[in-house]
């Protein structure tokens, strides 16, 4: 089922003017994401600054504190800007995420830096941090915390290889299980830009 869903998402993204589509895997988890560059649809929006997207993660119990891991989904919005010609890009974003009994609206920041190394292959490092306190967490949740670190190499124009680490904490209220880590794992994958 997950393999068919992943293939369908990858095929469907070629129909739309996607900014990027991403597939991350490890030995137990699969994560699929896509982002629309809103600058491709509106002359009033500068390209590569405003993004709308979604993500789906099928996590395994072995990478989670939960005994029966539900699938994780999110919708996201990000405003991003490069700081002069430094190679550093900073973004502010908001997400709407959910699992079977948990949903939240985390706010966060993303940072990407193009490494100043010579050669034909551009390389980047990045970090992401999103947090939702209890006031922005619904259903059985108490708070949400996500952080990621990624290394990215553009081996072919518009085709990136990614290696990263993610931690998603879906903390429940004390009656439902308390602090739990939904997924904590390393991953590798691809990102294709259109």
Residues 189/55, Cβ–Cβ less than 8 Å: no
> What is residue 34's DSSP assignment?
E
For residue 177, the model assigns a pLDDT of 58
Local confidence pLDDT in tens for the 194 residues of the chain: 455 444 444 444 444 445 899 999 999 999 999 999 887 777 767 767 899 999 999 988 888 877 777 899 999 999 999 998 899 999 999 999 998 888 999 999 999 999 998 678 999 999 999 999 999 999 888 899 999 999 999 999 999 999 999 999 988 875 555 678 889 999 999 999 98
For residue 176, the model assigns a pLDDT of 57
Residues 135/106, Cβ–Cβ less than 8 Å: no
d(CA 153, CA 123) in angstroms, rounded, equals 4
For residue 103, the model assigns a pLDDT of 93
For residue 40, the model assigns a pLDDT of 75
Residues 183/59, Cβ–Cβ less than 8 Å: yes
Closest CA to 102 of 54, 141, 143: 141
d(CA 63, CA 147) in angstroms, rounded, equals 15
Strands 137-139 and 159-172: unpaired
For residue 175, the model assigns a pLDDT of 58
User: How many independent structural domains does the chain possess?
Assistant: 1
d(CA 108, CA 131) in angstroms, rounded, equals 6
Give the global pTM. 0.85
For residue 39, the model assigns a pLDDT of 77
How crowded is residue 188: how many other Cβ atoms within 10 Å of its Cβ?
A: 13
d(CA 52, CA 93) in angstroms, rounded, equals 10
User: What is the rounded end-to-end Cα distance, in angstroms, of the chain?
Assistant: 27
Q: Residue 189's domain spans which residues?
A: 2-193
CATH of the domain at 84: 2.40.160
For residue 7, the model assigns a pLDDT of 46
SS3 call for 63: helix
Residues 171/144, Cβ–Cβ less than 8 Å: yes
**CB within 8 Å of 178: residues ≥ 6 apart:** 171, 172
């Amino acid at each position: 089922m997950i393999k068919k869903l992943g293939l369908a998402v990858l095929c469907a993204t070629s129909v739309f003017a996607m900014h990027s589509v991403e597939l991350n895997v490890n030995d137990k988890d699969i994560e699929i994401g896509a982002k629309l560059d809103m600058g491709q649809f509106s002359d009033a929006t500068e390209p590569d600054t405003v993004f709308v997207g979604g993500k789906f993660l099928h996590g395994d119990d072995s990478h989670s504190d939960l005994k029966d891991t539900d699938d994780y989904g999110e919708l996201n919005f990000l405003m991003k800007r490069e700081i002069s010609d430094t190679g550093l890009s900073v973004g502010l974003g908001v997400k709407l995420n959910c699992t079977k009994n948990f949903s939240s609206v985390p706010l966060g920041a993303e940072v990407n830096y193009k490494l100043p190394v010579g050669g034909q292959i551009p390389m980047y490092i990045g970090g992401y941090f999103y947090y939702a306190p209890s006031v922005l967490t619904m259903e059985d949740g108490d708070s949400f915390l996500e952080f990621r670190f990624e290394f990215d190499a553009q081996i072919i124009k518009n085709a990136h290889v990614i290696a990263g680490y993610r931690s998603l904490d879906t903390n429940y209220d004390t009656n439902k299980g308390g602090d739990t880590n939904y997924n904590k794992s390393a991953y590798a994958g691809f990102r294709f830009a259109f």
